[in-house]
Amino acid sequence: MEKKIILSGIQATGVLTLGNYLGSLNNWVEMQDKYDCYYMIADLHTLTIRKDPEELRKNTLALLALYVAAGLDPEKNTIFIQSHIPAHPALSWVLNCYTYMGELNRMTQFKDKAAKHADNINSGLFTYPVLMAADILAYNADLVPVGDDQKQHLEITRDIAERFNSIYGKTFKMPEAYIGKVGARIMGLQDPTSKMSKSAVNELDKILLTDTPDEIRKKFKKAVTDSENKVRYDKEAKPGVSNLMSIYGIIKHKSMEEIEKEFDGKGYGDFKSAVAEAVVERLEPLQKRYNELLESPEKLRAIYEKGDKKAREITDKLLKEVYKKVGLVI
């Protein structure tokens, strides 16, 4: 039976967090045998916010190294750099002409980002969801791994695809959301009511995948909990403890009930230490592989060149079909 196609990507805007790993990469690794997976380094999306060119190039290759170090096998997955595939911006322009201003005005992420970057509210920030739609539709993706904050982008992708299909006949697949059963939302260590973010100003709020063991232990030691001093899962009343339990549960493959039993009668000090050591142990081989890859740029080039070639073969075919349907000479 033909495998379903999955498309996803992460922006090249700095080192990934434990939240990115447990919420995205960990799930991606588990999918690579079951699905036909396309994973991009979303470097075009980073341009909505001014970046130092050298830093962006460095971050792009570092993210590629993290993909592979986290367990994504280049032989099983198509791993590519978004800007290397001409169909992404080309299809995005066509889809812009089938997207309404009112739809883009309703996008909450534009409002959030515009508020954070009031000095640079550019049109790319506004039409960002259309490029994301092009990313997805160019590969005839069946499934898109999304968190709660990305559901709106998938909805507008489906609206655009349905509108185009209704005018020109079936062209695009209607992608569905793929939401992992676990790890979909890892929260900050200092603010457990907000998603762990690599852009968090407070360094204690996030665990970076490149943090040293001592840095990891320090951050978990200072993680926000509560005054009850009892390891019990309750997201509403005990968001900090519940977040730590989620992290521990994913890494140790344990249910919340099993974790509560394991730490029954023990205080938060013991619990935080156990979570920290679990994370240190999990990240050790990832960090070793990551550093090896960064020291071998030729290996990274071989990986993305192979992925780029396959991605172009798929997307060029779809783009030609779209061009033909809208009346362009091909």
Cβ-based neighbour number of residue 170 at 10 Å: 10
Partners of 39 in beta bridges: 8, 79
User: Does the annotation mark 113 as catalytic?
Assistant: yes
The phi and psi torsions of 77 (rounded to 5 degrees) equal -120, 155
Of 113, 173, 219, 272, which residue is the catalytic one? 113
User: Does the annotation mark 195 as catalytic?
Assistant: yes
- Integer Cα distance of 43 and 56 in angstroms: 8
DSSP tag of 230: -
In the structure encoding, which two tokens stand for residue 178, read together?
Answer: 């793929």
In the structure encoding, which two tokens stand for residue 34, read together?
Answer: 């079951």
- Asked if 188 and 206 touch (Cβ cutoff 8 Å), the reply is yes
DSSP tag of 311: H
User: Does the annotation mark 261 as catalytic?
Assistant: no
In the structure encoding, which two tokens stand for residue 172, read together?
Answer: 């695009």
- Integer Cα distance of 58 and 75 in angstroms: 24
Of 51, 58, 76, 198, which residue is the catalytic one? 198
Partners of 144 in beta bridges: 177
Of 195, 206, 219, 272, which residue is the catalytic one? 195
- Please name which of 7, 95, 117, 69 lies closest in space to residue 285, comparing C-alpha atoms: 69
Largest distance between two CA atoms of the chain: 73
Using DSSP's 3-state secondary structure scheme, residue 148 falls into helix
- DSSP code string of 255-306: -HHHHHHHTTT--HHHHHHHHHHHHHHHHHHHHHHHHHHHT-HHHHHHHHHH
Which residues, 6 or more positions from 201, have their beta carbon under 8 angstroms from its beta carbon? none
- Enzyme catalytic residues: 113, 195, 198
